[in-house]
Amino acid sequence: AGGSLLLLIDQGLFTFEARAAQEIAAQALQESFFEALRTEQRTGYIAKSIPQEHERHLYHTFLVQSNTHTGQDLLGRFELFLENYLLHLSDTIPLDRFETLKQSAIVSLKTRYKNLAIKSTLLDRLAFEEGGDFGFVEKRIEALSALSYEVFVQACHNFFGRLNSKRIALYVEGALQHPFHYTPLEPSEISQVVSYEPRKQL
């Protein structure tokens, strides 16, 4: 009946430099993960790669919903994808693409909080979750601007390499006890399924 595999990788404590590397990597990873797991391997309709920051910690989640592959098979494909991605990282994200992704992330941060509702959510977070650090966004922009290609590459290996064993996989399998299907009926049998009473006019 299908299922979903979620792989969560703990990428360590938040630093502005690590968050900058995570953000740049995430832009490229979503495209590559979708291309590999959905377009090429056809494992499932939904294939997502999502960076997360929670309580001063960094995480990355990979998710595929599939009706054709088991959880163990999907997990193997996830790990193989990450190994190949790191092996060919300099080809997938060469220096010029790194600079493009960096500039895109900087522009996104500069324009992300223009909406009043989003701005108020940001201020609430800065006040109560970031210890009143109202220069938080500016510090993230500075970290992105200062991030070197060499530090970025090393961070990717630290994040996704086999030496980082801080990862957990969760497979959720669906089960239909009574699979949905249509049953042909004769006209005389319709009244056994549904009854209809004309609605009174007011």
Q: What is the pLDDT of residue 179?
A: 62
Q: What is the pLDDT of residue 202?
A: 39
Distance CA 86, CA 77 (A): 14
Q: pLDDT: is 106 or 190 the higher one?
A: 106
Give long-range contacts, CB 8 A cutoff, 24+ apart: 23-26. Answer: 23/51, 23/105, 23/144, 24/98, 24/101, 24/102, 24/105, 24/144, 24/147, 24/152, 25/51, 25/93, 25/152, 25/155, 25/156, 25/159, 26/50, 26/51, 26/60
pTM over cut 0.85: no
Q: pLDDT: is 45 or 176 the higher one?
A: 45
pLDDT in tens, 61-87: 999 999 999 999 999 999 999 999 999
SS3 140: helix
